[in-house]
């Protein structure tokens, strides 16, 4: 992983080169006042950017209160961060973790273009393993993760900040909070604006292609079907951000259910979705997709099933995940 200071140093070098180029242009242009003014403005903009970057490098540590009421001293420029299951916002803010989340030998595949080579750490964050990475900041997703004395153990290793369920349930709030902690509010704000523009562009493309037709998101794993609850991951993107119509099966889900809820084949036959987006973790295995009940689902009969690999971002939350989901959605519907 490239260190944050190296990123800043690289940007500083680029800014110096740009300034030198414009200085030469100003000399060559002589009396062309308009060109001089334009070049001077650009130089000033580049200098301001460089000063802002330098300001980030000289940021001082801060004392903040986390979701559990702990007073935490956040280092000025943390370099070795453990932020298990918070890697999406961490990457958006220009940091790479010293170790990445994993469970049952699985990782967040959709982030591996940026996390390739980063060692893994178990989702339950064993303190001795955490200590072995010598972190200078630990960011925790949920209060439940630090019960039974674990917070005290982590905080002896490095400053430990609990984001908390109320914040981490919303990736936008998570990104904003982490941006404040890491002196990167500008990056967080820019990422949010970029995402909203992506939503607007994608919505236009989707409406032009399929109108107001309904879509269902189903996950097949270990020969069992699950449907997203509509508030998280790809459900939040399609139904929340893009405003796509929800299928009837979501209306019958009980309150306070899991992110992905089991659904029987018998129930799926009643599915009124025009399209099915199937996250297939059983690809290559004989199973329910050969069942006559599956083949009688209207969207299946009409050939409107889009198969997604289990390594896709459709199971995850975050700015990067959501952006990739929208890219997949447009690519798939435009392939019809």
pLDDT per position as a tens digit, 94-106: 999 999 999 987 9
Residues 212 and 321 in one domain: yes
- Judge whether 190 lies within some domain: no
Query: What residues make up the domain containing 10?
Result: 4-47
Same-domain check for residues 249 and 172: no
Decide if 240 is inside a domain.
Answer: yes
* Cα–Cα dist 162/40, whole Å: 46
The reported pLDDT for the residue numbered 250 is: 81
What's the CATH number where 316 sits? Answer: 3.40.50.1980
- C-alpha–C-alpha distance, residues 67 and 98, integer Å: 23
Same domain, 148 and 79: yes
**Domain co-membership, 109 together with 165:** yes
Domain count, the chain: 3
pLDDT tens column, 283-318: 877 678 989 999 999 999 999 999 999 999 999 999
Last-in-domain residue among 148, 183, 218:
183
Contact criterion met (CB below 8 Å) for 50 and 11 = yes
- The mean predicted confidence, pLDDT, of the chain is 85
Q: CA 178, 181, 182: angle at the middle one, nearest 5?
A: 85
Instruction: Say yes or no to pLDDT of 280 above 70.
Output: yes
Reported in sequence order, the residue ranges of the chain that DSSP labels E, i.e. its strands, are 62-65, 71-74, 81-82, 100-102, 120-122, 137-140, 160-162, 215-221, 224-228, 260-263, 275-280, 305-309
Query: Which among 147, 138, 131, 129 is positioned nearest to 74, based on CA atoms?
Result: 138
Provide the whole-model pTM: 0.81
Q: 223 or 57, which is more confident? A: 223
CA contacts within 13 A on the Cβ side of 231: 13
**In a shared domain, residues 68 and 135:** yes
User: Is the residue at 195 inside a domain?
Assistant: no
Pick from 218, 197, 312: which is nearest to 261 by CA? 218
132-181 pLDDT, tens digit each: 999 999 999 999 999 999 999 999 999 999 999 999 999 999 999 999 99
Does residue 124 share a domain with residue 169? yes
- Would 56 be classed as within a structural domain? no
Does residue 280 fall inside a structural domain?
A: yes
Q: For residue 194, tell me if it sits in a domain.
A: no
Residues 220 and 135 in one domain: no
Has residue 328 been placed in a domain?
yes
Strand partners, 224: 221
Q: Kindly list the distances between the CA atom of residue 327 and the CA atoms of 44, 65, 308, 310, in Å, as whole numbers in the listed order.
A: 36, 37, 12, 16
Per the document, the length of the chain is 336
134 and 171 part of one domain: yes
209/327 same-domain check = yes
Higher-scoring residue by pLDDT: 236, 53: 236
CA distance 238 to 232: 10
Mark whether 161 and 221 lie in a shared domain. Answer: no
Among candidate residues 167, 138, 148, 165, the one with its CA nearest the CA of residue 72? 138
Band of pLDDT at residue 60, cut at 50, 70 and 90? confident
Is residue 93 a contact partner of residue 134, using CB atoms and an 8 Å limit? no
Domain match, 69 and 41 both: no
Q: Report yes or no on 237 lying in a domain.
A: yes
Q: What are phi and psi of 267, to 5 degrees?
A: -75, -35
- Regarding whether 93 and 213 lie in a shared domain, the answer is no
């Amino acid at each position: 992983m490239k260190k944050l200071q190296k990123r800043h140093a690289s940007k500083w070098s680029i800014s110096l080169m740009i300034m030198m180029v414009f200085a030469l242009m100003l000399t060559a242009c002589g009396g062309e006042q308009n060109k001089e003014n334009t070049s001077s403005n650009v130089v000033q903009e580049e200098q301001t950017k460089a000063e802002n970057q330098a300001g980030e490098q000289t940021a001082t540590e801060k004392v903040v209160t986390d979701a559990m009421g702990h007073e935490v001293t956040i280092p000025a420029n943390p370099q070795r961060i453990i932020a298990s299951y918070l890697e999406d916002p961490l990457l958006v803010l220009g940091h790479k973790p010293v170790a990445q989340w994993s469970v049952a030998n699985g990782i967040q595949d959709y982030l591996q273009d940026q996390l390739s080579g980063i060692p893994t750490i178990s989702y339950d964050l064993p303190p001795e393993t955490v200590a072995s990475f010598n972190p200078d900041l630990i960011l925790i997703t949920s209060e439940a993760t630090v019960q039974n004395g674990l917070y005290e153990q982590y905080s002896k290793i490095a400053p430990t900040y609990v984001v908390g369920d109320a914040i981490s349930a919303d990736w936008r709030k998570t990104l904003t909070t982490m941006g404040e902690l890491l002196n990167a509010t500008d990056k967080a704000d820019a990422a949010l604006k970029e995402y909203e523009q992506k939503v607007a562009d994608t919505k236009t493309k989707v409406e032009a292609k399929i109108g107001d037709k309904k879509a269902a998101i189903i996950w097949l794993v270990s020969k069992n079907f699950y449907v997203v609850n509509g508030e998280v991951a790809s459900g939040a993107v399609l139904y929340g951000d893009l405003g796509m119509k929800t299928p009837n099966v979501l209306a019958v889900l009980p309150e306070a259910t899991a992110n992905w809820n089991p659904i029987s084949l018998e129930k799926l036959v009643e599915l009124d979705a025009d399209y099915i987006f199937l996250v297939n973790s059983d690809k290559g295995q004989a199973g329910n997709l050969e069942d006559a009940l599956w083949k009688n689902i209207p969207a299946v009969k009409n050939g409107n099933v889009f198969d997604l690999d289990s390594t896709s971002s459709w199971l995850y939350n975050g700015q990067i995940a959501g952006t990739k989901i929208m890219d997949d959605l447009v690519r798939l519907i435009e392939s019809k």
